[in-house]
Chain A
Amino acid sequence: MTRRQRADRRQGLLLTAPTMVVLAALTVYPGVWVVWLSLQERIPIFDVARFTGLSHYVFLAGDSRFWNATRTTLVFTIVSVALELVLGVLVAQALVGQRRARHVAFSLLLLAWAMPSVVTAKLFEWLYHPTAGLLNVLLGGRGYNWLGDAALALPAVILADVWRTLPFVALLAYARLLGIPREVYEAAQVDGAGRLATFFQITLPMLRRVLTIAVLFRTLDALRAFDVMFVLTGGGPAGTTETLTIYAYRGLFQMLQLGFGAALGVVVFALVMATAWAYLRLLRAEDAHA
C-alpha cells in the first residue's frame, strides 16, 4: 500500500466513523439489550423484574405454539420466496419479449410493489371474501373459506405476499436480462439451441448472481413477515398463519410479557442472522469460483 492509499483509507474510516457509531448505537445496543431482556422476567405492569436465565427458552422448547409458529415461518419463507423467484424470472423473461405493452406492464408491476403492504392485505381480504369475493366468483361460485380454513389460510397469505413482492424479483431480473448482449443469443441460435436450452444454458446462468442477491433480500424479509398475516388473519385460524414475529408481537404488546416476547425476538434474530451468514458464505464461495 502506498502512502497515498493509506491516507485515503484513514480518511475513509474517519468519514464513516459517525455513521458507524450511529449504526452501532441503533443496532448493536438494542440487540444486546433484547438478549439481556430475554433472560429476565419483565412485566412492568406487575412490577416484576427479575433475572430468570434461560427459563423462557426452556418453556419455548416445549411450547407447541412456538413450534407451530416456527414451522409456519419456515414454510411461509421457503414457499413464498421460491414462488417469487420462479414467477419473477418468468415475468422478467416475458417483459423482455414485449414491445408495446412493456410500459403498461412495468407500471402495473411497480404499483404492486409500491403499495403499502397493509393496503395489499386489505385488498386481498376482499378478494378472499367467502361469499362475495372475486376469487370465489371466478372459481365458479364455490364457497372456499380462504381465510377461515386451516388448510387454505397459509396458502392464501402466501399468495398475497407473492403478489406484493414478485415485482422486486422481476425488476431485478429484467434489468439483468437487458444487459445480456444479443450476440450471445444469436450465437446460441446458430449453434441450434432451442428455447429451453437457451434459457437454461444462457439466461439462467447470467441471472444467477442477481437472483442470489434477490433471494437473500426476500428470505430475510420473509423470515420477519408480519403485516400481511396480521391484517388478513391475525394469525388464525387455529394459529396456522401465526409466524414467530406475530407471536412475539402478542407476547410483547398484548400479554405485556416483555422478557418472554424478547426471547421470541431473539429467536427471530438468530434465524435471520444464521440465514444471512449462510448466504454470505455461499456468495463468497461463488466469488472464489469465478
Chain B
Amino acid sequence: MSGRATALVKVLFVLLLSAGCAERPAERGPITLVLKHARILGPADPFPPLLREFEAAHPGVRVRSEALPWGSDEQHQFFVINLEGRNAGFDVMMLDVIWVPEFARAGWLLDLTDRVPPHELAPYFPSAVAAATWGGRTWAFPWNMNVGLLYYRTDLLARYGLRPPRTWDELVDQVGQIRASERDPRLDGYLWQGKQYEGMVVNALEALWAYGADVLGADGRAFPDPDRAAQALGFLRRLIETGVSPAWTTAADEELSRRAFGDGHAIFLRNWPYVLDLVEAPDSPVRGRVGIAPLPAGPGGPGAGSTGGAHLGVARSTAHPDLAVALARFLTSEPAERALVRATVYPARTALYHEPALVARNPWLPRIHDLMLAGRPRPVTPSYLLLSATVQPEVSAVLVGLKPPARAIADARRRLDYFMASRR
C-alpha cells in the first residue's frame, strides 16, 4: 500500500474510533430517576432533602435532579428538542402550566388519567387542575401556583382616605389624586409588564377579561370579540398615554416593575405573589407599607388575575413509569408542598394556605388563597405558544402607539388563522 493510502486509512480509522466513543455503555446498578426542574430562588432549596427522603423510601432508587436553563423560552426549547427524540434522558419534568396541553398533544407526556383518580386532584386549586387537564384526561400533578394581583401602598392610600380600587376607573382616579398632592416627580402611578414577551400577554389577558373579552374563542379564533378586545387594549394604551403608567412600561418585565415599586417609586403594581417576600424583607424601603388586592374590575367583568405556575409531568419515554409517577406524586404531596412554602414558593394545594403554623410565618396566605381561587387560567390549548407568539408583537404595537387596537387585532387574527388552518 502506498504512503498516502495508508494516511487515508489512518484518518478514517480515527474518525470511526471517535464515532464509536460517542455510544454510552448500558446502565447498570441501581435505578436512577432524573428530575428536570428550574432552580428555585429563595432562602432554602427544598429539593435535596425531599429527594433524599424519596430515596430512603425507595431502596435501590437514586434521584438525580438537573437544573433547566434560566429563561422560560430556553426551557421550552430544551424540552422540545429533547422530547422529540426517542429517549428524553429524564423521567420527571417541571412544566410551565401553558405547555401541558401542547406536550400532551405531542405524545411526550405519560397519560396519568388511570393512575390519578379524580379525588386525588380535589385538594388542588381548580384552575391548576384545569391547566393539567386536556382532552378530558390528566397529564400532570399541580405543583406550584401563581396568580396576578394588585399591590398598593397602604401608607399613600391611607393618607388620602382611599380604599384599594375596585374598578380600573377608580385606580386611575386614585393615581391622579395621589400624584397631584404628593408632587413627587419620581412617583409613578400604576406599574405592570408591557415588554414584548409572555408576561405582557398575561397583562393583556387580564385587561381583556375585565372588558368581557378573551384572546381565544371556542372556535379557535383569536379575539372572538374584536370590538371589546380593542377597547381593552385601547385602555392599556391609554394608561401609558395619560401617564398613569410610565412610558417605560413598554420595556418592563416582572423584575423591572417590581424593583421600581419596591424602591418606593410607585403607588400600584401588578405582579405575582413572589413580590411579597421581597417588599417585606428587612432592608426593603416599603416594608410594612404594602397591601394586596384583587385586580380591579372593568366594564365587562370582575377583576381576575391570570394563574400560572408549574406542574410536574412524567416523560412518556421513561423506562420506569411507576417509579416516575411515584416521584411526581411524592413531590406534589402535602408534606413536600409544605416545604415549598418555606422556600417562599406558593403551593398548588389549597389546604396549606390555612395551616396555622404556615400562616404564622406568612400571614398573607389566606388572602392569596382567595385570589388564587378567583384566578383564571390562560387558554388551555396545545396551540398556546403559537397564540402568544403571534399576538405579542401586535399587542406591543398597540402599547407603544404604533397601531390602533382594531388593526393590531385584525393582523393577529389573520396570521393566527393561517397557522391554525395548517394544524387541522
Contacts and interface: CB of A to CB of B under 8 A. Distances in A.
Interface of A: 10-11, 14-15, 17-18, 22, 41, 43-46, 48, 59, 63-65, 129-131, 143, 145-150, 233-239, 242, 250, 253-257, 260
A253 B77 contact: yes
A189 B197 CA distance: 59
Interface string B61-75: 000000000000100
Given A131-B260, A235-B196, A237-B399, A64 B411 contact: yes
B393 A239 contact: yes
Contacts of B252: 148
A147 B251 contact: yes
Contact of A239 (B11, B195, B196): B196
Contacts of B12: 18
Contacts of A239: 196, 393, 396-397
B382 A148 contact: no
A59 B418 contact: yes
B354 interface: no
A237 B195 contact: yes
B265 interface: yes
Given A44-B84, A236-B392, A237-B399, A143 B248 contact: yes
Given A236-B197, A254-B385, A242 B393 contact: yes
B119 interface: no
11 contacts: A15-B7, A46-B382, A65-B393, A130-B246, A148-B247, A233-B196, A234-B196, A239-B396, A239-B397, A256-B102, A257-B419
Contact of A255 (B11, B105, B197, B419): B419
Contacts of B250: 145, 148-149, 236-237
A11 B7 CA distance: 10
B8 interface: yes
A254 B73 contact: yes
A131 to B, nearest CB: 6
B402 A256 contact: no
| Residue among A15, A17, A150 having the largest count of chain B Cβ atoms under 10 Å | A150
A238 B402 contact: yes
A26 to B, nearest CB: 13
* 10 smallest beta-carbon distances between A and B, as pairs: A236-B196, A148-B251, A130-B248, A148-B250, A45-B106, A239-B393, A238-B397, A147-B251, A255-B386, A145-B248
Nearest to A257: B419
A148 B400 CA distance: 8
Given A64-B411, A130-B248, A257-B386, A237 B196 contact: yes
B350 interface: no
B410 to A, nearest CB: 11
A54 to B, nearest CB: 14
Nearest to B421: A41
B389 interface: yes
A50 to B, nearest CB: 9
A22 B256 CA distance: 47
B423 A43 contact: yes
| Residue among A41, A65, A239, A254 having the largest count of chain B Cβ atoms under 10 Å | A254
Interface in B75-128: 76-77, 80, 84, 102, 105-107
Contact of A131 (B105, B248, B397): B248
A250 to B, nearest CB: 5
B200 to A, nearest CB: 8
Nearest to B195: A236
Interface in B184-198: 194-197
B102 A45 contact: yes
| Residue among B80, B392, B393, B415 having the largest count of chain A Cβ atoms under 10 Å | B393
| Residue among A17, A44, A239, A256 having the largest count of chain B Cβ atoms under 10 Å | A256
A15 B3 CA distance: 12
A60 to B, nearest CB: 10
